[in-house]
Chains A and B, each alone.
Chain A
Amino acid sequence: DAGITQSPRHKVTETGTPVTLRCHQTENHRYMYWYRQDPGHGLRLIHYSYGVKDTDKGEVSDGYSVSRSKTEDFLLTLESATSSQTSVYFCAVRLAGGRTGELFFGEGSRLTVL
């Protein structure tokens, strides 16, 4: 168990409001990721982090920002939520060792933007 906690697990908000999702890990993993999951699209990478204050964009980063001020926390922020950002968001950590980059996922945060 890589000790990942996502919060909140469920959130309903209105268009135009800011939203922050939190991913907390307890095992000092260097790499952390935010994915979104939508029907027919599998998992798509939003942003990832390769260390404190080190982040990079994924394939669907528009409308999202991230921050990692300490190893254990990776925050995903929607500055002004839109209905197209209704989705299930998964945080993941890269398991240590090797070159194959296996991921361990949190349980997800379901966001509904009305």
Chain B
Amino acid sequence: TQLLEQSPQFLSIQEGENLTVYCNSSSVFSSLQWYRQEPGEGPVLLVTVVTGGEVKKLKRLTFQFGDARKDSSLHITAAQPGDTGLYLCAGGGGLWGAQKLVFGQGTRLTINP
């Protein structure tokens, strides 16, 4: 059973379209992180959200933490081929304690030119 469920698991869209990736849990987390991973490399941190309802923007990427701190979303506006990759959400605190992160299963995003 996955503590953090990401949806969709696979997404293939055309350049210029918008998309949203979801990360949901029944557990409360003290923080929620998003990572991006490219083939042959380790995940790289994009953003951390810690406050319920918090919204952070990173250029064309918008991250939101749910009010109850159980879910998060990643919205990409006008997707570019360079956005292609595996996106992972990770929750800190909560049932797992402060020392460990639990990861979702990932969303593999492909942006077609």
Which A residues form the contact surface with B (CB < 8 A)?
31, 33, 35, 40-45, 48, 50, 56, 58-59, 90, 92, 94, 99-108
Find B101's partner among A40, A50, A101, A107 (CB 8 Å cutoff).
A101
User: Is B66 interfacial (CB-CB < 8 Å)?
Assistant: no
Asked if B42 contacts A92 (CB within 8 A), the reply is: yes
- Kindly list chain A residues whose C-beta atoms are within 8 Å of the C-beta of B43: 43, 90, 103, 105
- With A100-B50, A102-B33 already in contact, the answer to whether A50 and B99 are too (CB < 8 A) is yes
B81-109 CB mask vs A (1 if < 8 Å, else 0) is 00000001010110000111111111000
- Kindly list chain B residues whose C-beta atoms are within 8 Å of the C-beta of A99: 30-31, 50, 93, 98
Residue pairs across A and B with Cβ atoms less than 8 A apart, 25 shown, are: A31-B99, A35-B103, A40-B105, A41-B2, A42-B2, A42-B103, A42-B104, A43-B43, A48-B100, A56-B99, A58-B100, A59-B102, A90-B42, A99-B31, A100-B92, A101-B98, A102-B33, A102-B45, A102-B48, A103-B43, A103-B90, A105-B43, A105-B44, A107-B41, A108-B41
User: Is B40 interfacial (CB-CB < 8 Å)?
Assistant: yes
Q: Taking the nearest CB of chain A, how far is it from the CB of B6, in angstroms?
A: 8
Q: Taking the nearest CB of chain A, how far is it from the CB of B92, in angstroms?
A: 5
- Kindly list chain B residues whose C-beta atoms are within 8 Å of the C-beta of A106: 42
Which B residues form the contact surface with A (CB < 8 A)?
2, 4, 6, 9, 30-31, 33, 40-45, 48, 50, 88, 90, 92-93, 98-106
A50 to B90, CA, bound (A): 19
Asked if B105 contacts A42 (CB within 8 A), the reply is: yes
Asked if B100 contacts A45 (CB within 8 A), the reply is: yes
- With A48-B99, A58-B100 already in contact, the answer to whether A105 and B42 are too (CB < 8 A) is yes
- Kindly list chain B residues whose C-beta atoms are within 8 Å of the C-beta of A100: 30-31, 33, 48, 50, 92
Asked if B31 contacts A103 (CB within 8 A), the reply is: no
- With A100-B33, A103-B101, A106-B42 already in contact, the answer to whether A43 and B88 are too (CB < 8 A) is yes
- Kindly list chain B residues whose C-beta atoms are within 8 Å of the C-beta of A105: 42-44
Task: Kindly list 4 other residue pairs between chains A and B, CB separation below 8 angstroms, not including A42-B106, A45-B102, A100-B31.
Answer: A33-B100, A35-B103, A103-B90, A107-B42
